[in-house]
Every structure is written in structure tokens, then in C-alpha cells.
Amino acid sequence: MKARVVIVGSYVQDLSFYVAEFARPGETLPADLRPGAGGKGFNQAVAATQAGVPTLFIGAIGHDAAGAGARDFARQHGVRAEFVVKKKEPTGVASIAINAAGQNQILVALGANLALHIRDVPIRPLTGAEVVVCQAESDMKTAAHVLRTARRQGAVTIFNPAPMHAKVDLAILRHVEVLIPNEAEFVALVNRSPRSGLKNFTTEALLRLAPDRLHALCRTFNVPIVIVTLGARGCFVSQPDVYARVNAHGVDAVDTTGAGDAFVGGFAAGLVKFNKNVFEAAHFANAVAALAVTRHGTASGMPTAREIARFLRRRDHA
């Protein structure tokens, strides 16, 4: 079956350490370790696959045990993946601390992910896809090339600027149809964009903004659809002529790592399922993220289509 969603991005071996509280500088703490598959791109691909939409992941791994683990996970979970094996760079690794509140701190060594070159990405899947997604854990030249190619072919292109860093060039936004930043990434984009007219914008200021002001700020990026994810508060959807908050589903979070990835993967799948209806896709994505944060791990915590359907049935009738 042809992939309807194609995600080009990162695979990372996650080492998740569960602790009561985060360590302070110089402190050593005992922790429970759960290793697992991760990486923003891969997490998103697992979320979209499990949500029931044929999805292809394209990313780079090293010639090492962690890379073999990537293949095993993909095989076991029915995730279609084209792993490009790099001889010189190791598979990406992340050290993740998760505290009792389910918050996280992540250190990521991207390794092979940054060596995924334009010539490594097969063009054919991009030309057949309905939705193509990139994040910022890749070489940004490769991401821009993928989004440009996909958009020319008529796919809906999604860019998730996570994590935000100096090499994320705003010129990439020309190729983006749906921009999905979280609060911090949105703030960074606003401060960097000359058209916003702001330089010292903060997350606190963002949370105080009236919806029409937030909408106006979203419009300064010149991207057709901007979705700002707001964690437990859901998300804000801004299109040229319409904007609205889409509320989250309240749950008890045990591990919020990968919540953004659950949202982005769920949204990509939702666009396919709901015939490109952005609000329905966002509502669906909120459910995927809500379920994901109730479980440990990133890729391994993504819910199935059945679980999402059951969850939404209960919520919508409550």
C-alpha cells in the first residue's frame, strides 16, 4: 500500500531515566531506566502508523547496536521505515530525565541524523504522499529540500520546528503549509521573525494574549496554517480567515516526553482521515497526545487507532 503520510526525520535511541526530582548540578541520583525507540521523526511516524494511516518513515541510523534496535522496533510495531545506514556516524542517542510530575529534560546527540543528505532521500515516496512532515532534528538543508519537493507535488507539508535552534532558517517556511511549534518554539520564531515586530516576546506574554492578537502573530509567518501546541491547554489553530482554540482532553500524565510528537503524528494522520479538515485533525491529535502522556516512553507509548476511537467516544459523550 502506498504511504499516505511520509515523515523524514530523526531516529534516536532513548534512555529514559525516571527520577523523583531532577538532579541539581553536581548531584548523583538513583533512577529507573527504560530504554526505548525515539527521535521526534520516528515518534511521529509511529503515532501516525498506529493511528491507522499508512505511513513511511525515512531517516538515518548508524552501523551499530542502536541502529539494529531501530529495525527491530519498526518490524515489531509494523512501522514502515527506510533507514539509511551511515558508516561513520553513530545512531542518535538521548538521555532523558523524567520527574514525578511527568516533566522531562532531554539531552540528545543526533549523530547519523545530521548526516541524512538530500541524495539519501528517495523522491518517489514524496511524490505520492498526501502529507509530508519534517522536524528540526535533521540537516536543515535536507528538510527544506524534502518540503520543497513535496509541496511542488501537491502534498500538504508540515514543519515542526522542534527543537528550535540557530540553524532553523526562517526561509524554510516558504515550503510549509502547516507550521506546528510548541509555546517555546513559537516564542523563538516570533522573536526571530522581522515581520512580527517583536524582540522580547516571552511564553508568559504568549499565554496572556487575546486570541485575535495570537492569530495576528501567527499570520506574520506567512504560512497558510499555524498550530501552536499548548500542552495541557490544547492547541491554537490559525488559518487566514478563521482561528480557534481546540481544547485538550484532561488526563493524568506520567511521561510527557514525545507529547508534541504524538500531536504532530496524530495531526498528520488526522488530515488524511478527515479529508484535510484541520480542526477535526487537531481534535484527533489532542486525543493521541493525551493518551501518549499517560504511558511511559516515547515511540512505545503511542496509542492505537482503537484506543483513540474508544477514548474519543467516551470524551465526546461525557
Q: Which is nearer to Na ion, 80 or 295 (CB)?
A: 295
Applying CB under 5 A, among 71, 80, 192, 295 the residue interacting with Na ion is 295
Applying CB under 6 A, among 7, 8, 9, 39 the residue interacting with ligand RIB is 39
**Do 191 and 201 contact (CB within 8 A), yes or no?**
yes
Stretch that binds ligand RIB, among 10-18, 20-28, 234-242, 262-270 (CB under 6 A): 10-18
Residues 56-95 binding ligand RIB (CB under 6 A) are 94
Residues 245-264 binding Na ion (CB under 5 A) are 255
Residues 244-303 binding ligand RIB (CB under 6 A) are 257-258, 260-261, 298
Residues 108-167 binding ligand RIB (CB under 6 A) are 108, 137
Q: Is 255 a catalytic residue?
A: no
Joined together, the cell numbers standing for residue 58 give 525515512
- Read off φ and ψ for residue 226, nearest 5 degrees: -120, 130
Cβ 298 to ligand RIB, closest distance in Å? 4
Cβ 290 to Na ion, closest distance in Å? 11
Cβ 12 to ligand RIB, closest distance in Å? 3
Cβ 101 to Na ion, closest distance in Å? 14
Q: Which is nearer to Na ion, 129 or 308 (CB)?
A: 308
Residues in contact with ligand RIB by the rule CB under 6 A: 10, 12, 14, 38-40, 43, 94, 106, 108, 137, 257-258, 260-261, 298
Which residue numbers are catalytic? 261
